Chains A and B, each alone.
Chain A
Amino acid sequence: MTLLDRFETELQPLLQGDGRIHGGLQRCPSYVEAARAIAALAEAEGLKRLLIAPRTEFAELSRELEKRLGSTRVEVDENGRSPRDYENHDAGVGGADVLVAESASIGLLTPGEESPVLSLLPSTHIVVAPASRLVERIHDAMEILRADGGRRSRSLTFITGPSRTADIEKILVLPAHGPAQLYLFLIEGL
């Protein structure tokens, strides 16, 4: 089983709640193909406004998405945005700095090329990342955090499935306070 297979297997049960599937994972050969798949998802799920993280690696992805969905529906998340403005977008498109196969977790470093609010306030969180960022265990991800070792400690947040709660009679409910859907588009061979 490859790390990607493992990640996918672990992700599936995390997306289930109230008899619905709250997201998915697609393997893509390139950013262009990922853009095509995200555009199709936006149409199918009625995602009207998408906000994209200003990651350098997303240049091609942003261009392609704008081409397919039009520039009124796709916006790059430049600095100085209010929380309410994030809320007014249906989906945040962000990346992953590390992916943990064992638990299907997405790791994000902050401050980095992506605001943490992008994966927090819009009700759909879309992640696009090279599959080569997969590691097996959380222990491996900790090595990455240690090696990050800049002058100052950055924050690392792991996202594992959509937001959830079981505080009422231990019954699982998705979402609680965070995103209700989590979609991943992982680029193979990158």
Chain B
Amino acid sequence: MGLNRLRRRLAEAVADPALSAPYEKATATARAKRARSVAALPDFEQQRQLAADARRHAVDELPTLLAEFEARFRRDGGTVHRVQLAHQAREIVGRLLQERGVRSVVKGKSMLSEELQLNQYLIARGHEVYETDLGEFIVQIAGQRPSHITAPALHLDRAAIGRLFTEKLGIEPTEDPVELTGVARGELRRRFLEADCGITGANFLVAESGQIVLIENEANLRLCTTLPRLHIAVVGIEKIIARVQDLGPLLTVIARSATGQKMGSYTSILGAHGGPERHVILVDNGRSALAKHSKHREILSCIRCGACLNVCPVYERVGGHAYDSAYSGPIGALLGPHGLGTDTGRELPYASSLCGACNEVCPVKIDIAGILRAQRERYVETSGASPLERLQWWVWSQIMVRPKLYRWFAHLARGVMRGPGAGASPIPELRAWSLGRELPEAAQSSFVSQWKDGGGDVSRGGHR
């Protein structure tokens, strides 16, 4: 069963302290930077609401806005392709590259291309594909997959990256981040100048103006979209927004939430007019089905800033790879049950403590914890709980609807919890719980009797 597999992956990840150390350091830094940046903006909450509204509106109006984008982008000289499934997207890219005699491709970081497994496909067809974001470049030459939405090589420390560069690129051993970055810059500059095609994702697509929005720090996306004669943007249909003005609040919250920056170093709002031949491949791959769901459609508002990963106590301990999905952390857990980014992600909502820290920081106000809870409900309904679990909950519900019975059980429980050896339960499930936690001391008398004794003031009534 999937849930046991997930538990095993998580347990393995927790057991490896070398794995969690870089995550703990990096997420702590990111959390502090975000908090400072948000606190420095007086109307952040207002901008956050505007950003959330803009995204909700876009998800509500997906078909209309996509048609508007397509018409405008076409009129300006670009080409739009619409596909339902991952393999169709791969095939269109493959065909475009073949028709135009493309040998080498420079690629910008794109989570969707991970979801589509585009690189593997293109390489198998004989193209050279170079990831150009530093983190993605590192992950690519290591033969791994990204471990964080905005920081793909988070799981590797400088020593590991140094060894990797020495082994794969033949450089003198070094652990200096400045030197290592310089090596990657030199290596990739050559690729940028030679490449026939740049493939990127997009942060947003603006319907009214037919523009592609790309946010970055390194300038690799600018190079990918400016130098090669062909630019293909592979974009999930949910990235659409209605108006240019929506970018005001969205750009205000996205970089602050991701890295604490006011703006990424480069924000490109690209039209089809001028520059290289531009294609946008609009990929559905399960998204329009999700858009029909009254509550879960909210997930599509996500702007992939990664703030929820940085505050998640589970992500921080287990890292990105334990999710076994293109998207990790709370947002990865949300997307998993809908088959986005993973084939085996139905159980991912259980990779959460439901503490709600993600809700607090989400710049577009997605009720992440609430939806994860709802998804667990559905998981239980469709996969079924064990007979023992069903029995437990049946007993529990019978007690909860009978006040007298409830009081009697509560009295009994207080006695057990205050009794000797309360932490060492004979039931294995309870022992597992108390292994990592202190059982709090129960009150001597119930809340109701304290309330009665104190005449409506529990601080005066009964004994604690």
CA distance A22 to B248 in the complex (A): 28
Q: Scoring A residues 143 to 164 as 1 if CB is less than 8 Å from chain B, else 0, what string do you get?
A: 1011000001111111111111
- In chain B, what residue has the closest Cβ to A158? B267
Binary A-proximity of B169-189 (CB < 8 A = 1, otherwise 0): 000000001101100010011
B399 at the interface (CB under 8 A from A): no
Interface string of A5-16 (1 = CB under 8 A from B): 000001000000
Residues of the B chain whose Cβ atoms lie less than 8 Å from the Cβ of A152? 75-77, 271-273
What residues of A have a CB within 8 angstroms of the CB of B192 in the complex?
A: 83, 177
> Using Cβ atoms and an 8 Å threshold, which residues of chain B touch A146?
209, 244-245
Q: Using Cβ atoms and an 8 Å threshold, which residues of chain A touch B75?
A: 152
Least CB distance from A48 to B in Å reads 19
Contact with A along B269-296 (1 / 0, CB 8 A): 1111111000000000000000000000
| Interface stretch of the complex, out of A38-46, A49-57, A67-75, A110-118 | A110-118
Contacting residue for B268 out of A87, A102, A157, A167, CB 8 A: A157
Nearest CB in chain A: distance from B242 CB, A: 13
A139 at interface (Cβ–Cβ under 8 A)?
yes
A102 to nearest B CB, angstroms? Answer: 7
Provide the residues of chain A in CB contact with B25, threshold 8 Å: 169-170
Among A105, A156, A168, A177, contact of B153 (Cβ-Cβ < 8 Å): A168
Given A165-B217, A173-B177, A177-B219, residue A159 in contact with residue B266 (CB < 8 A): yes
Residues of chain B within 8 A of A87, CB atoms compared: 189, 193
A170/B151 in contact, CB under 8 A: yes
Assess whether A160 is in contact with B151, with CB atoms less than 8 Å apart. Answer: no
Cross-chain contact A117 with B273 (CB below 8 angstroms): no
A168 touching B134, Cβ below 8 Å: yes
**Who on chain A is nearest to B148 by CB?**
A167
Chain B residues 95 to 141 lying within 8 A of chain A, measured CB to CB, are 132-135, 138
Min CB distance A166 to B, Å, is: 8
Nearest chain A residue, comparing its CB with the CB of B212: A155
A:87-112 near B, CB below 8 Å: 87, 100, 102-105, 110-111
B243 to chain A, nearest CB (A): 8
Are A163 and B244 interface neighbours, CB within 8 A?
no
Which residue of B has the minimal Cβ distance to A139? B248
Interface contact A138-B248, CB-CB below 8 Å: yes
Contact check, A177 vs B185: say whether CB atoms are below 8 A apart.
Answer: yes
Shortest distance between the CB of B152 and any CB in chain A (Å): 7
A120, CB-defined interface residue at 8 Å: yes
**Segment at the A interface, from B8-16, B220-228, B388-396:** B220-228
A117 to B276, CA, bound (A): 13
Interface size on A, residues (CB 8 A): 48
Q: Is B265 an interface residue (CB 8 A)?
A: yes
Shortest distance from the beta carbon of A90 to any chain B beta carbon, whole Å: 15
Partner of A142 from B210, B245, B259, B275 at Cβ < 8 Å:
B245
Q: Flag if A160 contacts B275 (CB, 8 Å).
A: no
**Which of A137, A156, A160, A178 contacts B248, CB < 8 Å?**
A137
**Which of B138, B152, B247 is most buried by chain A, counting CB atoms within 10 A of its CB?**
B247
Residues of the B chain whose Cβ atoms lie less than 8 Å from the Cβ of A81: none
Scan B242-259; emit 1 where CB is below 8 A from any A CB, else 0: 001101110110000001
B248 pairs with A153, CB closer than 8 A = no
Contact of B297 with A by CB under 8 A: no
Check: A176 CB closer than 8 A to any chain B CB: yes
Q: B218 contacts A153, CB within 8 Å?
A: no
B266 near A158: Cβ-Cβ < 8 Å? yes
Q: Closest Cβ of chain B: how far from A65's Cβ, in Å?
A: 25
Residues of chain A contacted by B133 (CB below 8 angstroms): 167
The answer to whether B217 and A157 touch across the interface, beta carbons within 8 angstroms, is no
CB of B223 to closest CB in A, whole Å: 6
Chain A interface (Cβ < 8 Å from any Cβ of B): 10, 18, 83-84, 87, 100, 102-105, 110-111, 116-117, 120, 137-139, 142-143, 145-146, 152-171, 173, 175-179
Q: Can you offer 9 A-B residue contacts whose CB atoms are under 8 A? A: A105-B267, A152-B77, A155-B269, A157-B266, A158-B263, A158-B267, A165-B135, A169-B157, A170-B26
